[in-house]
Amino acid sequence: MWLVFLSGIVEPAVYLLAFQIGFGRLVTEVVGPGGEVMSYAAFVAPALMMASAMNGAVYDATFNVFFKIRHARTYEGMLATPVGPVDIAMGEISWSMLRGGLYAVAFLAIMTLLGLSGSPWVVLLVPVALLVAFTFAALGMACVTFIRTVSQFDYIQLAVMPLFLFSATFYPLSVYPEPLRPVVQLSPLYHGIELARELSVGVVEPAMLGHVGYLAALAALGLWVTSRRLAGLLLR
């Protein structure tokens, strides 16, 4: 169990160390939220923290849930009790959110050790990571209800990797060509990263509520689709 947990932290932590020790020496400073000048490692760190929460939640809400639906038939036994499809969906998504949150807390500790958590607002990165994790767990579980074979998990990886690379994770939105910026802004991870970056430098503004609202709306959509799909699969 602990090896699985640590594996979810190691990859983003290695990325962060690489940017702190290596690439960060080539790109010494960038302009962050609110015009704040910050080191490149400090710019990337909150984004990697959100990506860590995303990865932990997605993989917990997909592989584990797939096994329970298609092989163990776990949920069929649950439905013999007063528990319904919505309860099952909320339970699985909440558990996956906690795993993503644990990844985020561990990553925040690494950021602190590396001196990349300067603002007191940085403690709010944990609830932001929980929101990101819940959103991706809900969307991931909704997607896995359509999967019939293990080989189809490649489609989930095909979606997660571009989200990791192209959600303004490693460079600001202004670097992207103008026509692509609206596409980047559709990414749930982008909104989590923007929230995390602003809080990491102490920038708090009303526009942040838009990021929260977008993530909450997608989380609600994922929960609704998951509940409907579970009802269709298990109550037929």
pLDDT by residue (tens digit) across 162-221?
999 999 998 889 889 999 999 999 999 999 999 999 999 888 899 999 999 999 999 999
- State residue 22's pLDDT score: 67
With CA atoms as reference, report the closest residue to 62 among 181, 150, 162, 186.
Answer: 150
Residue 220's CB: how many other CB atoms inside 10 A?
12
Task: Measure the CA–CA gap between 23 and 224, rounded to whole angstroms.
Answer: 42
Task: Measure the CA–CA gap between 131 and 94, rounded to whole angstroms.
Answer: 10
With CA atoms as reference, report the closest residue to 92 among 223, 180, 215.
Answer: 223
Ramachandran angles phi, psi of 205, nearest 5°: -145, 160
Q: What tokens does 84 get?
A: 């319904």
- State residue 23's pLDDT score: 66
Give the residue carrying structure tokens 């809080």: 199
Contacts 24+ apart (CB under 8 A), 152-159: 153/62, 153/63, 153/66, 156/58, 156/62
pLDDT by residue (tens digit) across 30-76?
877 877 778 888 888 999 999 989 988 998 899 888 888 888 778 88
Residue 141: domain span: 2-234
Task: Measure the CA–CA gap between 44 and 122, rounded to whole angstroms.
Answer: 14
Number of domains in the chain: 1
What number is the average pLDDT over the span 133-142?
A: 96
Sign of CA dihedral 134, 34, 23, 114: negative
